[in-house]
Chain A
Amino acid sequence: DQQVKQNSPSLSVQEGRISILNCDYTNSMFDYFLWYKKYPAEGPTFLISISSIKDKNEDGRFTVFLNKSAKHLSLHIVPSQPGDSAVYFCAASGGSQGNLIFGKGTKLSVKP
């Protein structure tokens, strides 16, 4: 049973527009959520995170929103750039363990 779900396998947006990547989770014990970006032939790279005590965290063009009641989070990229084209993984952790539970990823394509 998947505890972290990314229901959109792919997303295509135009350069300069907003990209919105969504993630749902089922385990209410999760208290940290992280987004990772992955290019082909490389390991995932940390992008941004949010604690469950917050509902928004911003870092430059990247903003993560958390809706605890809906068990939903989203990553907004504004404005999107062609270099943002990659696979984005949503991950969660909680309890006493530091390991991450990952979604299956969303492949973002930003068209020039």
Chain B
Amino acid sequence: DSGVTQTPKHLITATGQRVTLRCSPRSGDLSVYWYQQSLDQGLQFLIQYYNGEERAKGNILERFSAQQFPDLHSELNLSSLELGDSALYFCASSVVAEPGNEQFFGPGTRLTVL
């Protein structure tokens, strides 16, 4: 158990809908990262927050947004969903935001868009 929790574990929805994925980092970790893993793809970095502030942005679509709350949990909002958004979404956390820091991953949320 990494100490990172993600809810829900599975999510099935229809095209055009909006969903919210939730992540609670390990106790004491200030940085949260979101990654997307599509079929046969490696993990693609979406966005990073550090202590409530956006720190870095990766390949995140404009239809997607995220935030980190004062209690450090984070939410990833996916809107106007398309079939291609079906993927595993992982949240990871680390103590600090610098390169080389070990990131602890949650179990992921599997999103299926029908």
Contacts and interface: CB of A to CB of B under 8 A. Distances in A.
Contacts of B101: 98
Interface residues of B, number: 31
A46 to B, nearest CB: 5
Contacts of A98: 31, 33, 48, 55-56, 94, 96-101, 103
Interface residues of A, number: 29
A45 interface: yes
A101 interface: yes
Interface stretch (A66-74, A78-86, A87-95): A87-95
Query: Which residue, of B31, B45, B90, has the highest number of chain A Cβ atoms within 10 A?
Result: B45
Interface of A: 4, 6, 31-32, 34, 36, 41-46, 49, 51, 89, 91, 93-105
Interface of B: 2, 4, 31, 33, 35, 40-45, 48, 55-56, 58, 90, 92, 94, 96-108
